[in-house]
Amino acid sequence: MISEEQIVGVAKRENNKKRNYLIVNRLQGKHVPVSPKLTFQMFEQLKNKVEVCYKDEQLLLVGFAETATAIGAYLATRMDTLYMQTTREKIAGVEYLYFSEEHSHATEQKLVKDDLDKIIDGIDRIVFVEDEVTTGKTILNIINIIKRQYGDKIHFSVASIINGMNQEAFDNYKNLDIPVHFILRQNNEAYSEVAEKYRGDGHYVMCDTSYVYYDNSDSADVDDSGHFSYRHHCVSRDYQNPRRLVRGAEYLMSCESLFNSIKQEVDINCTGKEILVLGTEELMFPAIFIASKLEKAGNIVYTHSTTRSPIEVSTEEEYPLHNRFELRSVYDDGRVTFIYDLKKYDKVIIITDSEQSESKGINSLINALRTENNDNIELIRWL
């Protein structure tokens, strides 16, 4: 069983008066670079706790954006259930169910109502999947919205890596007949005080958004004019978007197809060298999955992703994050995102489903990676 020391790092949110701390899960593949093997081992423990309880029920798993999208997708692919994630992105031509995540830096969450309409009569239970549940209020918000929309015929459960609910919240869930599953239960009461003690004196970088050249040739790094370039690939094969409804087994097959396409496009024969596979914001699972495949092939692989979470960084050794690069989003040039704890790798593979082929977001991300990695950067856009 994974211990609290392996998982939990307490960090300080930047300018968040609602909650000044953030639990940084060291194994989740979000903020901290980690071996994908360790990430999937942790997800598997949660899957085992959930699967045994609902073998005779038709399930819909819902992963919460942005940090729990990979956890939800992993459980759905291993259990072959229906799956969709909440999102903060815009999807054209659909109707949403809106709800709020009150403590977050970006409070608006939404779920595609059109997809729920299609399957609601054929499911027995919705399992909400989170990385960490503190009070359970956000999940109750969406449960109440679903009940108002569809009635009381659906059962609900909650699954998370970490659960920090107090006894009153647990009793409330029990009285509402909402089972709660988790790997680690902890008391969060001291975390605000812990977060305030950190200095926040880490390395902060505001990344340049100016244009970066890209080149799909085998020698892409610095061209004849002295311009740095990276490799840019667009893969359209078998793309599935879990912001819309997917079936777990089919989504796993689509990720396998993505990996096969990458093998054709990218030199991944890097045995003995270090590779970073980087996801972007809500697109976490495909990056961790690709990283896992590369690791199983004998490479030294790390994975994490960009995030909308503004977190202070510190030089203190026990603090979970030490450097921060401020970016524009690859999905929306007007949105600020971040990447934490970059270091040098022999190859970097970015996995994104951004529709933008050239943008300030892509430029700022490449420029962040260039600070440590002057060549061998591959951008994979899966559309």
Are 161 and 49 part of one and the same domain? yes
Domain boundary pick from 178, 197, 216: 197
* More confident position, 214 or 136: 136
CATH at 15: 3.40.50.2020
pTM to 2 decimal places: 0.95
Domain boundary pick from 197, 213, 233: 197
Are 251 and 309 part of one and the same domain? yes
Are 193 and 221 part of one and the same domain? no
Q: Provide the residue range defining the domain that includes 73.
A: 4-27+35-197
pLDDT in the model for residue 223: 47
Domain boundary pick from 197, 220, 250: 197
User: Where does the chain show beta strands of DSSP type E?
Assistant: 8-12, 21-25, 59-63, 82-85, 96-100, 108-112, 125-133, 155-163, 180-185, 203-206, 213-214, 229-235, 246-247, 274-280, 300-306, 323-328, 336-340, 347-352, 377-382
pLDDT in the model for residue 375: 74
Q: What is the pLDDT of residues 340-380, one digit of tens each?
A: 999 999 999 999 999 999 999 999 999 999 998 767 899 99
Which of 44, 5, 40 has its CA nearest to residue 26? 5
Are 242 and 155 part of one and the same domain? no
By percentage, how much of the chain surpasses pLDDT 90? 85
Q: What's the mean pLDDT in 155-184? A: 97
Are 254 and 212 part of one and the same domain? yes
Are 48 and 162 part of one and the same domain? yes
Are 304 and 241 part of one and the same domain? yes
pLDDT in the model for residue 272: 80
Are 234 and 362 part of one and the same domain? yes
Q: What is the pLDDT of residues 78-120, one digit of tens each?
A: 999 999 999 999 999 999 999 876 545 446 899 999 999 999 9
Range with lowest mean pLDDT among 48-62, 176-190, 266-280, 313-327: 266-280
Provide the number of structural domains found in the chain: 2
Are 193 and 230 part of one and the same domain? no
Are 84 and 223 part of one and the same domain? no
Residue 72 backbone phi and psi in degrees, to 5: -60, -45
Are 148 and 232 part of one and the same domain? no
Q: What is the pLDDT of residues 282-295, one digit of tens each?
A: 999 999 999 999 99
